[in-house]
Amino acid sequence: MIRLKLTTIALIGSALLLVGQSYEYNGDPDLSFERARELAFNQERERARDTLLVLLNKYPNYDDIRAFLGSTYSWDGEYDKAREAFTYVLKRNPDRKETWQASINNELWDEKVLVALDMANRALQYFPNDQDLLYQKASAQIYGQNPAEAFGTLQLIKDQDPDNEKAINFENYLANKLSLNTIGLSSSLDLYSVVFDPMQYYAFKYGRQTKFGSVLGRVNVNRRFQTTGSQFEVDMYPRIIKGLYAYVNLGVSNSFIFPDFRYSAELFKSLPNSLEVSLGFRALKYSSGTTMIYTGSVGWYTGNNYLYVRSYMIPNDAGFSKSGSFNFRKYRSDAYNYSSISIGMGFSPLTSRFEYDGLDVEIINLKSQSFGLGHYFTTGAKKYAWGISGGITHQEISFDPGHYFWIYSLSFSWDLKFR
């Protein structure tokens, strides 16, 4: 029995040795490397890595192969394995610019900003004033919340090449990021198919970005029902923790076409899969009482698109009055350049153009449908932001239930960002 076991073990060992020998590489490494690259670029990176590892087993100092292996790891988020491969290559041969670039990108994608900045500085010792490496250094500086230093790095590129398009575009982005102040104005006009005269709305605002979030002060001036009234508001968007921020609003007015006092609060939370949800309230205080409006939203970012649904619920003696809207945005270069579509159902005092004293249950139960389009863009190296929008609303008449009129709306906005 013992002899049988020993014979079996010997046979297994021989088989394993033969299997190991069968994987010993004896082909053309350059040709195999090219095939592995084709696999990697065709989204078959696991198969590509199998080939690359076999090649490295026989040619451990084939730097092009090891560096490319590191890149495939980096693309798939395996940053530690990528770091190990890049470090091995750069220790052997620090005169490989492309490997430095891949290694810096790996650190940026892994959010190791200080490491990326250190690597960029080390790479620039071997390639002084190289424009590609300077651009990466500026990227590390901006990710590290040092936009002023990034400006200086980009200027080194422009000193060599004043027409460098990447540097110019990045510099414009930084100028926009460093513009912490905003002033703006907006105006809109509503035209009615019957009964009401045109209604006019104007707003003047000043906003500032702070380390705690943005703060916006606004003066609203409306011309409605042969009366001109004003309202003063403050909006705040405090950041609480990563992925969680709030909206807070306070407003006062001494005109009957606005609530005497309004206050609002809402929490926004980012979720996996590019989702965002919110929950909050709006309170409108009139001389005859206070209306509470509960609201929530669900938003989803997919590529350059943003879709969100918002609902409003107003408690009353009959239960709840409900309204809501569906919104779609198609972004272009950034958050200030997009086109939008909105569809709304139901009456909401927040968007109502009519007199409302907080106790008119009949009014908040009115039927209403709306549709809107908007286009927003920037000019002057994104210093100026413009917007134009239009919409149409089919609104039930408050004093003649069951009958409707049409409201045609046109709006214009302009913002200026400055340091």
In a domain, 16, yes or no: no
DSSP code of residue 1? -
- Please work out, in degrees rounded to the nearest 5, the angle formed at the alpha carbon of residue 215 by the alpha carbons of 332 and 306: 25
In a domain, 356, yes or no: yes
Rounded Cα–Cα distance for residues 69 and 76 (Å):
11
- CATH code, domain carrying 406: 2.40.160.40
Rounded Cα–Cα distance for residues 195 and 146 (Å):
57
- Find tokens 């490494």 and name the residue: 29
Q: What share of the chain is helix, strand, coil (3-state, %, to 5)?
A: 35, 40, 25
Q: 6 pLDDT band (50/70/90 cuts)?
A: very low
Residue 381 has pLDDT above 80, yes or no: no
Q: 319 pLDDT band (50/70/90 cuts)?
A: low
Pairing of strands 289-302, 305-316: antiparallel
What's the confidence (pLDDT) of residue 348?
65
In a domain, 8, yes or no: no
In 151-255 the beta strands, taken as DSSP E runs, fall at: 181-192, 199-210, 213-224, 227-241, 244-252
Return contacts of 27-30, CB within 8 angstroms, 24+ apart.
29/55, 29/58, 29/59, 29/62, 29/65
Residue 361 has pLDDT above 50, yes or no: no
Residues 173 and 269 in one domain: no
Report the range of poorest mean pLDDT among 131-135, 248-252, 350-354.
350-354
What's the confidence (pLDDT) of residue 100?
94
> Phi and psi (nearest 5°) for 86?
-65, -40
In 332-403 the beta strands, taken as DSSP E runs, fall at: 338-345, 368-379, 384-396
Mean pLDDT, residues 245-261 taken together: 93
Residue 11 has pLDDT above 80, yes or no: no
Helix (H, G, I), strand (E, B) or coil at 297: strand
Rounded Cα–Cα distance for residues 70 and 85 (Å):
5
Helix (H, G, I), strand (E, B) or coil at 166: helix
Residues 158 and 289 in one domain: no
Query: What CA–CA distances, in Å, run from 384 to 100, 300, 376?
Result: 38, 27, 11
Residues 214 and 359 in one domain: yes
Locate 245 and state its tokens: 């921020």
Q: Which of 145, 161, 177 is the last residue of a domain?
A: 177
Contacts of residue 30, Cβ cutoff 8 Å, sequence gap at least 6:
none
Q: 387 pLDDT band (50/70/90 cuts)?
A: very high
- CATH code, domain carrying 42: 1.25.40.10
Residues 86 and 227 in one domain: no
Residues 146 and 192 in one domain: no
Query: What CA–CA distances, in Å, run from 163 to 149, 150, 361?
Result: 20, 18, 63
Helix (H, G, I), strand (E, B) or coil at 17: helix
Q: What is the pLDDT of residues 388-397, one digit of tens each?
A: 999 999 988 7
In a domain, 3, yes or no: no
Cβ burial, residue 31 (10 Å; 0-12/13-18/19+)? exposed
In a domain, 10, yes or no: no
Mean pLDDT, residues 117-145 taken together: 87
Residues 196 and 144 in one domain: no
- The H or E element that residue 395 is part of is strand 384-396
Q: What is the pLDDT of residues 129-138, one digit of tens each?
A: 888 898 888 8
| Top-confidence residue, 160 or 27 | 160
Q: Which of 177, 204, 234 is the last residue of a domain?
A: 177
Residues 267 and 371 in one domain: yes
In a domain, 17, yes or no: no
Residues 269 and 384 in one domain: yes
Residues 352 and 306 in one domain: yes
In a domain, 2, yes or no: no
Residues 357 and 215 in one domain: yes
Mind giving me the DSSP string for 42-53?
Answer: TT-HHHHHHHHH
Mean pLDDT of the chain: 84
Q: How many domains does the chain have?
A: 2
Contact 224, 244 (CB under 8 A): no
> How many Cα atoms are found within 13 Å in the side-chain-facing hemisphere of 87?
8
Locate 186 and state its tokens: 């907006």
Q: Which of 133, 160, 177 is the last residue of a domain?
A: 177
In a domain, 196, yes or no: yes
- Find tokens 């606004």 and name the residue: 218
Residue ranges making up the domain that contains 80: 25-177
Residues 273 and 395 in one domain: yes
Residues 275 and 341 in one domain: yes
